[in-house]
């Protein structure tokens, strides 16, 4: 029978593949970059690109329903979602190489959400209004790497995410190394 995604040896395989020492959770001395597709395959994650407003509405409704009871934290309205955003410079700042980092010079181009059961949703915000995603982000906890970046852009766009955790800030706590 195949190993469950939660089995100890399965977790060990995933951690070793992405360059994490299983026993100490410290990054190995010279980790090799692992392509995103490899990590997604190891997690048995399905990637769904969403560029239709009706499909986005259905997906958000599905996530609001299916992730509602998945949470370890008291007071949380539902399951924690992984989040990552990609930005694009506004036309008047297209020649500024750092414009994408500044919420006053850029717009959110894509939002990727990773649900607790292993699905990755990529929302194309040139075709989907950000307002469709707002109810989900304002009712679920999220986790991001460098959450300050996501938070700045989301707040500037008028959103008020419920609670956002940051893996970049937590990495030194877990690894014992300074950033």
Of the chain, the percentage scoring pLDDT greater than 70 comes to: 75
Under 8 Å between Cβ of 159 and 136 = no
**What's the pLDDT score for residue 1?**
44
How many alpha carbons lie under 13 Å from residue 179 in its C-beta half-sphere?
9
pLDDT above 50 for 67: yes
Q: What is the mean pLDDT of residues 49-56?
A: 97
pLDDT above 80 for 147: yes
Higher local confidence (pLDDT), 95 or 65? 95
DSSP-based three-state secondary structure for 88: strand
Q: What's this model's pTM, rounded to 2 decimal places?
A: 0.73
């Amino acid at each position: 029978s195949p190993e469950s995604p939660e089995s100890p040896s399965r977790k060990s395989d995933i951690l070793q593949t992405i360059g994490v020492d299983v026993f100490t959770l410290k990054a190995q001395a010279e980790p090799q970059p692992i392509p995103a597709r490899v990590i997604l395959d190891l997690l048995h994650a399905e990637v769904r690109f969403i560029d239709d407003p009706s499909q986005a509405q259905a997906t958000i409704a599905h996530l609001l329903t299916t992730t509602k009871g998945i949470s370890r934290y008291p007071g949380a309205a539902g399951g924690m979602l992984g989040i990552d955003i990609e930005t694009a410079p506004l036309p008047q700042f297209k020649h500024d190489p750092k414009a994408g980092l500044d919420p006053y010079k850029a717009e959110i181009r894509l939002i990727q959400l990773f649900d607790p059961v292993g699905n990755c949703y990529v929302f194309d915000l040139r075709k989907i209004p950000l307002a469709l995603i707002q109810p989900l982000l304002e009712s679920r906890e999220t986790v991001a790497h460098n959450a300050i970046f996501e938070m700045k852009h989301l707040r500037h766009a008028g959103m008020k995410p419920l609670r956002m955790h940051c893996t970049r800030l937590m990495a030194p706590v877990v690894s014992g190394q300074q950033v």
